[in-house]
Structure 1
């Protein structure tokens, strides 16, 4: 088991003779160099491989409230938006950086976060607070790093796991996954392969179409790594990963678990990524090069009958005047593509008193969308284009950055760190669209730039204590609106400016000498200006983005982990966030809380190790809580749309042999049917929590 979050989140193993938990230090690379977690002078949560297994976690949303300050809004896998420390708005670019090893996964859309399966993961690192210096513009609120297991050049090994779970009132969840590590030339060349297939058991019904469990689906993930140790100093790892996600529908439903869509609404996503990682060790200086390529294709179908049928059936001149019942349904198909090339090169030097990192980054992102209407029966004139779009979505981007960071030990106890990143982003919009037969084209281009500094002081009077203060700046590029959406009636601003965030933080970490107790606390304040906000033109469905009011607020986070006896570990995490609007504009008024951000989140867990005869076993219980959040675009709503409070209770009872493990588990034991995301805008139904799942798992390793 691994204890998350605290300084001294630990890697924990079980002593086969006693069943006790022995706790060792976990090492992270949050600052792009190896450090013990207690030595990292920023707020970092680290969740290791053994805890991921003991929790039965398959994706980061299974852990979200266990990470202080993190919350996730998600309609379904592949439709994910991660928030850290209250840095969240409706649209625009992502506010949290997402990495798989050294490869940045962010796309140009905030809500299309990649569904990363926790397959063969060594650990997850969550950096809380702006990371613009080392991680770029996407890391305004923080950074999530998925660290996969490396290739072992000296030992053959592998694992296979299977799991089945029965969804209350729904279908069956099940998954199969495995990994294999083979040295081809001992200490020189090796390969590591991993794969997983997960079937999502649906629980939403569509009585209109007569379909059951319409939100079922599956995820396939395949990953291969080849490592070449070309010399004692030179190491190269090539990685390829392919993922396919197919869903019958999103996890949207009314209180009875039903939807009334008039046509099927499947979602498809394919992501292929390649990464070449090379390091050369010169002694006190290390050179790293990461070259990556990502190709992602998504296809979504949505039911827009409630929007377009009134237009068809309303008498002229305000509508098209068709008799009621002429049309059965109107849907939209959206096919998105995003192809990204990126290159990062950096040098890192370390010594007893001084260390530094300098580097450069380049990213070229091409986007496209093809949108068409599906009208049933298709009796509209062939020349009449109800709705379509062809072109960039939202924009193409070509960006580059240079960055550097250095630390100096002023005294043996006091370390000062200063860093900065200059970033430039050239964005291009070129899209042709049609609505109700009116065709238009939107074209624009601009270059956005920023300098993001960071200042840090860390005081470590002993190896068990770290008190730090951190000041950092975050940044998001500007972008473009589609002026044609105004149809010549509403004036739509052609573009919106970049936004900036300053964060001020004081934190402390402590761990006992035996690491049986650890704690952390952080107090921060965010000052966010020129916030990119969604606006609806008065009395119309025309929407666009403007630079709105200022967001600011205080926040407090904490985590405690305690092993009162060697066989028992208790964990508690909590976060309070007070981000709210500090001025009044058309879209928000002073005092409105940040959209999508719960005020309070927290978690509690306990894991107990025991012996059943001669077989080691464990029992784990996890509780996660979140306040509700709201979405309130005042130009479109009279009252805010709100989610519901979340109470999620999970438990797992497992047994472990030398080469096998088995467990029974229950997720959402309380069978809460809560709304994770409110019905808002084009979502006619809220996203809902999966009902209770009871199941078992079995695994083997060699």
Structure 2
């Protein structure tokens, strides 16, 4: 497979990782120029010396994206594990493990960090969104320790000070073999004081859409979601120099069968007692964000303050299958997470077109997470025992950072950055209380050279870092931090009078002290205990490529792909789940997306058709402590998903017929199905969507 995949990718090296434009836009004969804020300043995307994928708001709307699972299939190289709707662990660029407490991929909503831990990254809905930026590779200098593999930035639409505007939409769709789903969404912009103060209110509500059954409990289509997500943004232009942005988000989601795992026949099997009705999943959070900027002329001061209150109640069940080392073991329990996070960032950024661009900043985070589970387990011999566990953690971290780039000539720019980070953790399971401090200095250097006004080459070397933590409830040792050095070379730009956009990035990463699970003998307990430990060294290498072609204003094609070779090179831990030579879990070797959009008139009515196809290789999971040797590795399915839509616009109203997974693929997304802990592709969905702009 590797030889075939490598040949396929090399033969298409004319392309790049992500389209550089919002390819659904009609901008004449030229592709629209994209401006991003990936480096915490506004820049043309071709001038940013990192690989970035950008999906604009129109593209998100056209494709009907609702959550990050949709994004993961649209962005090659981005994968994830889902433990029920709203609970995601995100992986990128060959860095993938479910151990440790911190995130590998940082997630941000405007200026607000919304990664609480690696397992608690807030569910975000894509309504009234300006764009999504996916930053590839370590972003530790500007975004901190939770961005070892990259960062995802959701940019919401800001209030407009000088006009009333809004949108109202809704959809109804049918899930193959399941329930109907109804969605209503809207946004309104209200300039309450002309050119001074405006608010923007956006909300979405979803209901139904389930397809999973628990026949023993009489539950049909039980994974339908009842979601309400409301966002209010306020913009106050106090003076020409002083601006205040405030945002409040309330998110509520409830699912009767909320674990997300299913069998091939779309049934859900509950451990210990098949007829149990487990606790429904409730996923709620409130977010408060205040961002203030003051322009001093030549530089800008920004203060961003965020507070998050999050509650998550969800069911969890496991059934160990015949391929596991503990066949016949079953458990079911209810789990609760209560978390809060306060974050404060102060940042000074140069403005204007000076030869020297610079950023100085400081960041502070205070987070608390309380977790408990309560349930029953049954051994292979049939013995049923109660199961209870609690965990109470606090995280206090602070950092200072700086980044500067100097334009040596009109074509050549050289830059460097560094962040010093300190993380103080405490943890308790009600018996053991531990505390420890971790710290890191993370540098980055980069350079870029313009071949022309619209074509740029770049190179960068950056370090990433993720804190260590505790093996609670035992006398096992703590685990150390992980670190990463990544090297990247790339080129991006547009040619043919900006009708063809392209990007190519090659990268190599040296990932040290990767965290995995293992077994260690504890003399005080006279048995083996499961623990998280630093197992050794991983090497990751890959290439990402993509093109966007707009030969005429009404016709756009895109293709992008990622090839990743991620391999464990050294293992220095006893009884590890992995050995040298193993691939890294949840990393597809090849993934790609292709598609296009054509606009035309039906009579005098503007219309369009778009088609998108997303493919991802099978991913593996290796755990030598849980699976019998002859069944290693565990493997998901290779997945190809075909989506399409056709729409027509009359005055300010657009009516659209859409379909996702049109071939009704029923495949394993996750390889962990022999523990009854894996989700599958969503069945075919066909629906009608109406949107009215005013």
| 1:25 alignment partner, SS class | coil
Match of 1:437 in 2: none
Aligned to 2:11: none
Select between 649-658 and 252-261 the one with higher mean Cα deviation.
252-261
Report what 1:487 is aligned to: none
Q: Which residue of 2 aligns with 1:211?
A: 219
Give the CA deviation at 1:259.
2.0
Q: Distance in 2 between matches of 1:664 and 1:504?
A: 44
Tell me the distance in 1 between the aligned counterparts of 2:320 and 2:499: 58
The aligned counterpart of 2:495 is 512
Identify the residue that residue 552 of structure 2 maps to in structure 1: 565
Higher relative contact order (CA 8 A, sep 6+): 2
Preserved contact between residue 416 and residue 445 of structure 2 (Cα < 8 Å): yes
SS at match of 1:87: coil
Task: Tell me how far 1:90 sits from its aligned partner.
Answer: 2.1
CA contact (8 A) 1:407 1:418 kept: yes
Please state whether the residue corresponding to 1:559 is helix, strand or coil.
strand
Q: Is the 8 A contact 1:11 1:25 kept in 2?
A: no
- Aligned-residue offset at 1:572: 0.3
Distance (whole Å) between structure 2 residues aligned to residue 132 and residue 162 of structure 1 = 40
Task: Indicate which of 606, 609, 617 corresponds to 1:616.
Answer: 606
1:260 aligns with 2:243: no
Alignment of 1:215-234 (within 5 A): 215-234=223-242
- Secondary structure (helix, strand or coil) at the match of 2:451 reads coil
CA gap 1:540/1:69 in 2 versus in 1, 3 angstroms: farther
Matched, 1:251 2:265: no
1:37-116 correspondence runs (5 A): 37-92=45-100, 93-108=102-117, 110-116=118-124
Name 1:274's counterpart in structure 2: 288
2:542 maps to 1:555: yes
Tell me the TM-score normalized by structure 1: 0.89
Tell me the alpha carbon deviations over residues 630-657 of structure 1, each in whole angstroms, 9 at most, x when there is no partner: 1112222222221111110000001123
- Deviation, 1:596, is 1.0
Q: Is 1:650 aligned with 2:664? A: no
- Give the corresponding residue for 1:589: 579
1:75-132 residue CA offsets vs partner (Å, 9 max, x unmatched): 4321212211011112222100100000000112x23332211021000011101000
Answer yes or no: is the 8 Å Cα contact 1:13–1:22 preserved in 2. Answer: no
User: Deviation of residue 330 (structure 1)?
Assistant: 6.5
Partner of 2:588: 598
Work out whether 1:698 is the aligned partner of 2:681: no
Q: Which residue of 343, 367, 370 maps to 1:368?
A: 370
Asked if the contact 1:531/1:547 (under 8 Å) is kept, the reply is yes
**Cα pair distance change 1:627/1:385, threshold 3 Å:** closer
Q: State how far apart, in whole Å, the 1-side matches of 2:124 and 2:309 are.
A: 15
1:9 aligns with 21
Aligned equivalent of 1:634: 624
Offset of 1:59 from its aligned partner? 2.0
1:481 equivalenced with 2:489 (yes/no): no
Residues 477 and 200 (structure 1), Cα distance of their counterparts in 2 relative to 1, 3 Å cut: farther
Alignment-derived partner of residue 410 in structure 1: 408
**3-state DSSP of counterpart to 1:51:** helix
Distance 1:390 1:563 in 2: 56
* 5+ residue gaps, structure 1: 308-313, 320-328, 377-383, 433-440, 485-491
Q: Describe the superposition over 1:42-62 as per-residue Cα deviations: whole angstroms up to 9, x where unpaired.
A: 111111111112212222322
SS of the residue 2:32 aligns to: strand
**Cα deviation 1:350-400 (Å, max 9, x = unaligned):** 442111000000000011123223699xxxxxxx993223341xx310000
- Matches of 1:626 and 1:385 in 2, distance apart? 41
- Flag the 1:4–1:211 CA change in 2: closer, same or farther, 3 A: farther
Map of 2:144 onto structure 1: 136
Tell me how far 1:420 sits from its aligned partner: 0.2
Q: Go from structure 1 to structure 2 and tell me whether the alpha carbon gap of 1:7 and 1:205 turns closer, same or farther (over 3 Å shift).
A: closer
Deviates more, 1:57-66 or 1:471-480: 57-66
Moved over 6 A (4+): 538-541
CA distance in 1, matches of 2:508, 2:331: 47
1:554-577 deviation line (CA, Å, top 9, x unaligned): 110001111123321110000000
Task: Give TM-score scaled by structure 2 length.
Answer: 0.90
Residue 225 of structure 1 deviates from its aligned partner by: 1.1
The offset of 1:685, in angstroms, is: 4.6
Deviations 1:179-200 (A, max 9, x none): 0100010011111101101124
Answer whether contact 1:7 1:38 (CA < 8 A) is retained.
no
Contact 1:548–1:587 (Cα < 8 Å) also in 2 = no
Pairing partner for 1:501 from 484, 487, 491 = 484
- What residue number does 1:381 align with? none
How far did residue 145 of structure 1 move?
0.2
Distance in 1 (alpha carbons) for counterparts of 2:103 and 2:640: 27
Q: Secondary structure at the match of 1:63?
A: helix
Gap change, CA 1:473 and 1:685, over 3 Å in 2: closer
**CA offsets per residue over residues 493-549 of structure 1, 9 Å max, x none?**
231000100000000012026321011100000100011111245898842200112
Q: Using the TM superposition, name which of 80-89 and 64-73 deviates more.
A: 64-73
Cross-structure match for 1:469: 459
User: 1:22 Cα deviation (Å)?
Assistant: 6.0
Distance change (3 Å), C-alpha of 1:82 and 1:305: closer
Cα distance in 2 between the residues matched to 1:419 and 1:98: 21
Q: Pick closer, same or farther for the CA change 1:413–1:348 going to 2, 3 Å.
A: same
Q: Deviations over 1:603-641 (max 9, x none)?
A: 101101000000000000000000011111222222222
Asked if 1 retains the 8 angstrom alpha-carbon contact of 2:18 and 2:560, the reply is no
Matching residue of 1:431: 429
Q: How many residues align?
A: 651
CA separation in 2, counterparts of 1:41 and 1:25?
16
Q: RMSD of aligned C-alpha atoms?
A: 2.3
Alpha-carbon distance in structure 1 between the residues aligned to 2:597 and 2:103: 35
1:4–1:47 Cα contact (<8 Å) kept: no
| Cα distance in structure 2, aligned partners of 1:213 and 1:4 | 40
Q: Secondary structure at the match of 2:86?
A: coil
SS in 2 for 1:196: strand
Helix, strand or coil: the match of 1:179? Answer: strand
Using the alignment, how far apart are the partners of 1:212 and 1:7 within structure 2? 41
Q: Write the mapping of 1:215-364 to structure 2, written as runs, cut at 5 A.
A: 215-249=223-257, 250-261=259-270, 262=274, 263-265=276-278, 266-303=280-317, 331-350=332-351, 351-364=353-366
Match of 2:155 among 147, 153, 156: 147
